[in-house]
């Protein structure tokens, strides 16, 4: 069996090699993001392991007997799910790793901005010493901390926010009301999410419906003391509209770990916008999350090779209950 690893940024892939060798598989590492090269090199693959490479319809059409495509990570934006489904190829992700790490990162961005830590730090470094922060801000206990989405990571973020005394709320039209009630979280409609929240943290997949959900219209509905956080998918935000809102002080701050184009363009207006924290897609990381991701991805390939039941299948033609 031939498993092709299209691309990766890991220090070592010995874990994958070991797990796949035990299942009788040869691991071929390409380190390519060129669709034409991928189509040629992956044609005879029995499985694909993918990090960032674009697995588009042309690449999928070239696959002759692929049993599974596994994405290192949660998002699957770089895989054409419809094309894979049409060819009978299940696509799996790893949605149950780095939950704590991303939740910690989202809350860290939110707390730092809510307490105006970066602004106060900059003032002190420039020689200004005041015992009040640069601008007034509400207490945590009078602030609604809301998530757009109410999945694993969103719930982990809210549980962390609970410890700081925030009022908790969330928007997710696909989660039943009873789940919100059991978690002690107020359920909000989309308009109320923008209008009522002091902090909004995004935790939704990127779909045609959610693309640029934070844009001119939603920013216009937000409070001028509101903070928005994105550790999910870059395309959820119209970042140029966000930069304008920050410059015009229509919202109080923003914390972003993901962007539509990565690295963030050198001339992007967010780089010059006030009251914004920018991190370089690091929310997922810890010393423990990296080997966990690699192990679970390789295990997903092994299940497919052995004909075992798959978990975390994301293209609807092959949906099975998640592990």
Topology of 99-278 in CATH? Rossmann fold (3.40.50)
Q: What distance in Å separates the CA atoms of residue 1 and residue 24, rounded to the nearest whole number?
A: 7
Residue from 187, 233, 299, 303 carrying the catalytic annotation: 233
Both tokens of 168, joined, read 């908790």
Same fold, 2-97+287-318 and 99-278: yes
Q: Within its chain, how far is the Cα of 68 from the centroid?
A: 22
Q: Are 280 and 259 in contact (CB under 8 A)?
A: no
Q: Which CATH superfamily is domain 2-97+287-318 in?
A: NAD(P)-binding Rossmann-like Domain (3.40.50.720)
Return the structure tokens found at 273. Answer: 């916008």
Q: For the CA atoms of the chain, what is the radius of gyration?
A: 21
pTM of the model: 0.89
Instruction: Spell out the domain ranges in the chain.
Output: 2-97+287-318, 99-278
Strand order in the sheet with 2-5: 26-29, 2-5, 47-50, 68-71, 91-92
Active site (annotated) includes residue 8: no
Active-site residue (options: 87, 223, 250, 281): 281
**159 in catalytic set:** no
Rounded to the nearest 5°, which phi and psi values hold at 150?
A: -140, 45
Angle, vertex CA 306, rays to CA 74 and CA 46, nearest 5: 70
Query: Is 262 designated active site?
Result: yes
Residue by residue, pLDDT tens for the chain (323 residues) are 999 999 999 999 999 999 999 999 999 999 999 999 999 999 999 999 999 999 999 999 999 999 999 999 998 999 999 999 999 999 999 999 999 999 999 999 999 999 999 999 999 999 999 999 999 999 999 999 999 999 999 999 999 999 999 999 999 999 999 999 999 999 999 999 999 999 999 999 999 999 999 999 999 999 999 999 999 999 999 999 999 999 999 999 999 999 999 999 999 999 999 999 999 999 999 999 999 999 999 999 999 999 999 999 999 665 444 33
Residues 89 and 45 sit within 8 Å (Cβ to Cβ): no
Catalytic residue (choose from 14, 26, 216, 262): 262
- Other CB atoms within a 10 A radius of the CB of residue 8 amount to 20
What beta strand segments (E) does the chain contain?
Answer: 2-5, 26-29, 47-50, 68-71, 91-92, 144-148, 167-171, 186-187, 199-202, 227-230, 253-256, 276-278
pLDDT of amino acid 318: 57
Instruction: List beta partners, residue 50.
Output: 71
Neighbouring residues of 162: CB distance < 8 A, sequence distance ≥ 6 = 168, 184
Strands 26-29 vs 276-278: parallel, antiparallel or unpaired: unpaired
pLDDT per residue as tens digits for the range 74-122: 989 999 999 999 999 999 999 999 999 999 999 999 999 999 999 999 9
Tell me phi and psi for residue 195, to 5 degrees. -75, -30
SS3 174: coil
What region does 307 belong to: left with phi over 0, alpha with psi -120 to 50, or beta?
Answer: left
């Amino acid at each position: 069996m031939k498993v092709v690893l299209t691309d990766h940024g890991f220090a070592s892939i010995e874990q994958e090699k070991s797990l796949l060798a035990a299942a009788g598989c040869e691991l071929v590492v390409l380190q390519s993001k060129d669709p034409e090269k991928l189509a040629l090199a992956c044609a005879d693959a029995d499985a694909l392991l993918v990090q960032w490479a674009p697995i588009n319809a042309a690449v999928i059409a070239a696959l002759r007997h692929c049993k599974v495509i596994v994405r290192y990570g949660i998002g699957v934006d770089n895989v054409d799910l419809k094309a894979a489904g049409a060819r009978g190829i299940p696509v799996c992700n790893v949605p149950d790793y780095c939950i704590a790490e991303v939740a910690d990162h989202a809350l860290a961005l939110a707390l730092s901005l809510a307490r105006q830590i970066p602004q106060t730090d900059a003032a002190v470094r420039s020689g200004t010493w005041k015992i009040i922060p640069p601008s007034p801000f509400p207490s945590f206990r009078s602030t609604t901390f809301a998530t757009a989405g109410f999945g694993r990571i969103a719930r982990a973020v809210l549980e962390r926010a609970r410890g700081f005394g925030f009022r908790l709320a969330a928007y997710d039209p696909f989660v039943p009301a009873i789940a919100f009630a059991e978690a002690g979280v107020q359920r909000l409609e989309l308009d109320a999410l923008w209008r009522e929240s002091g902090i909004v943290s995004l935790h939704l997949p990127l779909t045609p419906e959610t693309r640029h959900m934070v844009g001119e219209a939603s920013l216009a509905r937000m409070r001028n003391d509101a903070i928005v956080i994105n550790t999910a998918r870059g395309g959820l935000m119209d970042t140029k509209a966000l930069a304008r809102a920050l410059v015009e002080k229509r919202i109080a701050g923003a914390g972003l770990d993901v962007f539509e184009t990565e690295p963030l363009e050198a001339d992007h207006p967010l780089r010059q916008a006030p009251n914004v924290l920018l991190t370089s897609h690091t929310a997922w990381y810890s010393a423990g999350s990296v080997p966990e991701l690699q192990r679970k991805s390789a295990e997903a390939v092994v299940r497919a090779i052995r004909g075992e039941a798959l978990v975390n299948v994301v293209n609807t033609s092959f949906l099975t209950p998640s592990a």
